[in-house]
Amino acid sequence: MRILHTLGEKSLGGLEFRTLEQAGWLARHGHDAAIAAPAGSAINQAARQRGLVTVDIDFDSPYSPRTLLRLRRAVRRLHIDVIDSHSRADAKAGALCRDLCAVVRTRHFAKPMPTSLRRRLEWKLGCDQVIATSAAGRDALVDAGLAPASRISVVGEWAGDEFFRAADKAGVRRQVRRELALDPRDYVISTIGMLRPEKRQADLLRVVLRLRRQAVPATALVVGMATATTQSYADELRTLAARLGIAEHVVFAGHRTDVADMIHACDVVLVPSATEAWSRVVPESFAARCPVVASNVGGLPEIVRPGATGWLAEPGDIDGFVDRIMRIRDDPAATAAAVARARAHAESHFRLAGQMQRTLDVYARARARD
């Protein structure tokens, strides 16, 4: 099968990394996969570094003759069977290629959807099948009248093989902590993801302050980089750490390619997002055997089941996050049992191969116009 992934954003984030992994897997398993994205964008550059075929298209004006001509030429030249669009602008352009190939629209978010006659027509006429990355995302589409449930498939996130590999956790933990100048006795709580206000890394800093006031030697490990539009938020995080008096207990690690090692170095992974579908880091933490505390929002409750595979608190509830973290710290036996259940769940449900087979099934239904 020949698949063209289209993306309109210029920076790298969770959905872009997901798309890169999809395209890479398809290429390794006998399919032709290409990525259409703005020239010079981070996603375009990352795709080329991975040896993927790229097409330079800026989707800022999705209905412009120039954009449509470039996309349609690429579809014909590459003999594309399926376009998989990943953001709104490129989905608009892709909709006008349905006479050339099947079109799938992937929705990466779980937020309530605004609706209008124009938007409903875009969704109804612009794609053959829809992929939602969580059941909450699917329900938001249905509630907005943008697509019927019968045309939506849920294909959630996954963890790469490196997160499942047996590792000398204690050894990796010591090595990473030495590299980051973390005290071996520190109780390390991490957020992993792009530095954006909706990810609420600021809540991690406030959690660390509360824990230290309770005599817990807590340290915040903030893994991730700002985007071109969120650098001011990243600066605010550093200012907040200083204002709270915990700057020496916060490590800003920036973008890392060794996320599995970062997780092994942690005692808890915190996902305090204000909005989220599933979050890549949750399956990754499950696979790497690290406890997860997350916001009770979006699709997170679908996989983080309190006391079973993780712990939940309401978004912005600092006391709630602190309480869950203290439960993890104070009850090692219950924590170990939950971590083991989360790992088993990841083995059964969060392997890349399994999620990609579900994706291929959607592509096949789209081609059949079912």
Which region holds residue 193: left if phi is over 0, alpha if psi is between -120 and 50, else beta?
Answer: left
Q: What is the overall mean pLDDT for the chain?
A: 96
Alpha carbon distances (Å) from 39 to 33, 122, 227, 232: 18, 26, 17, 25
Instruction: Say what the pLDDT of residue 358 is.
Output: 97
For residue 227, pLDDT beyond 80? yes
Give the Å distances, CA to CA, from 151 to 146, 253, 331: 10, 41, 44
pLDDT tens for each residue of 121-133: 999 999 999 999 9
Decide: 321 and 292 in contact? Cβ < 8 Å: no
pLDDT in tens, 66-101: 999 999 999 999 999 999 999 999 999 999 999 999
Strand partners, 55: 36
- Of 168, 278, 271, 294, nearest to 224 by C-alpha is 271
pLDDT tens per residue across span 319-363: 999 999 999 999 999 999 999 999 999 999 999 999 999 999 999
Question: Tell me, which fold does domain 161-349 have in CATH?
Answer: Rossmann fold (3.40.50)
pLDDT at residue 10 greater than cutoff 90: no
C-beta separation of 128 from 369 below 8 A = yes
Nearest Cα neighbor of 285 from 296, 269, 271, 300 is 269
Q: Is the pLDDT of residue 159 over 90?
A: yes
Tens of pLDDT, residue by residue over 265-279, are 999 999 999 999 889
Helix (H, G, I), strand (E, B) or coil at 141: helix
pLDDT of residue 273: 97
Answer with the residue of higher pLDDT: 13 or 210: 210
Q: How far apart are CA 154 and CA 132, in angstroms?
A: 5
- The residue type of 29 is H
CB 283 within 8 A of CB 289: no
- Give strand pairing partners of 153: 131
Split at pLDDT 50, 70, 90, the class of 370 is low
Q: Could you tell me the CA-to-CA distances from 243 to 10, 223, 318, 360 in Å, in that order? A: 33, 20, 17, 50
- Nearest alpha carbon to residue 295 among 332, 326, 327, 320: 320
CA dihedral 298, 302, 307, 311 (to 10 degrees): -30
Task: Give the SS3 label for residue 294.
Answer: strand
pLDDT at 90 (0 to 100): 97
Phi and psi torsions of 366, nearest 5°: -65, -40
Amino acid 86: pLDDT: 97
| Identity at 35, one-letter amino acid code | I
This prediction has a pTM of 0.93
Residue by residue, DSSP assigns 271-288 as E--SS-SS-THHHHHHHT
Backbone φ, ψ for residue 51 (5° rounding): 75, 20
Share of the chain above pLDDT 90, in %: 93
Predicted local confidence at residue 294, as pLDDT: 98
111 falls in which pLDDT band (50, 70, 90)?
confident
Distance CA 48, CA 293 (A): 35
Q: Which residues contact 64 (CB under 8 A, 6 or more apart)?
A: none
In the prediction, which pLDDT does 13 show?
84
> Are 107 and 130 in contact, with CB atoms under 8 Å apart?
yes
The Cα-based distances of 44 to 6, 164, 290, 329 in angstroms read 10, 28, 32, 42
CATH architecture under which domain 2-158+352-367 falls: 3-Layer(aba) Sandwich (3.40)
Write down the domain spans for the chain. Answer: 2-158+352-367, 161-349
For residue 7, the model assigns a pLDDT of 97
Task: Encode pLDDT of 189-205 as tens digits.
Answer: 999 999 999 999 999 99
What percentage of the chain reaches a pLDDT higher than 70?
Answer: 100
Distances (CA, A) of 305 to 101, 163, 316, 342, 345: 40, 20, 19, 9, 11
